[in-house]
Homo-oligomer: A and B are copies of this chain.
């Protein structure tokens, strides 16, 4: 029942810090708190369960997975994060998750200085994160395999601008560990969706949605 074999083999990588400030992505925080960008290669660890939580992160480009591990290796990915999205809040000052770069990724880091009160900025982000987690609870608790994959594809499509084309930076194993399925089941569901002409795969990481309505019907 090992969900994956290389969970702890993620390269512990000291991120190189760029002095460049990219202003293309508007930040939710004041410019005074602006931080330089940090780069992480694919698989690099952003933070680990048990570490001190003293910052939150915004994805500049690339993609992040945030997950927990059980003692026997089962893994639950609680969220993926795409460009513009902010992650890393905790209820106390310790991390309770692992966060890793899925592909080559650049992050902006915002220190949470103990004095400053940024609850006004943080609350809407925390609430959005809560809503997303609760949406995901419904998927994991009450959706079938094909419904889970449909919901996942719709979500990814919407977060990427809702064009017909969806990029999947993550592996089948990542998708399985996000949806509570095995890689085989994820793969079979993709095949069934292809058969039914609901999606088309350019390659295994690039999906074209052909029947948006059919997908919506399953996914929610």
- Interface residues of A, Cβ cutoff 8 Å to B: 3, 68, 70, 74-76, 78, 89-91, 96-97, 117, 119-120, 122-124, 126-131, 133-134, 136-138, 140-142, 177-180, 220
Contact = CB atoms under 8 A, between A and B. Distances in A.
Nearest to A176: B141
A134 B3 CA distance: 18
14 contacts: A68-B138, A70-B138, A76-B138, A76-B141, A78-B137, A89-B127, A91-B124, A96-B131, A126-B127, A129-B130, A133-B134, A137-B140, A140-B140, A141-B178
Task: Output the residue of A75, A91, A141 with the most chain B CB within 10 A.
Answer: A141
B140 A180 contact: yes
Complex copy number for this chain: 2
Contacts of A136: 137
Contacts of A117: 120
Contacts of A141: 76, 140, 177-180
Contact of A78 (B91, B134, B177, B179): B134
CB-based closest 10 A-B pairs: A141-B180, A140-B140, A133-B133, A91-B127, A119-B123, A76-B141, A76-B138, A119-B119, A74-B142, A126-B126
A188 B133 CA distance: 29
A94 B127 CA distance: 13
Contact of A130 (B75, B91, B124, B178): B91
Nearest to A129: B130
A175 to B, nearest CB: 12
Contacts of A124: 91
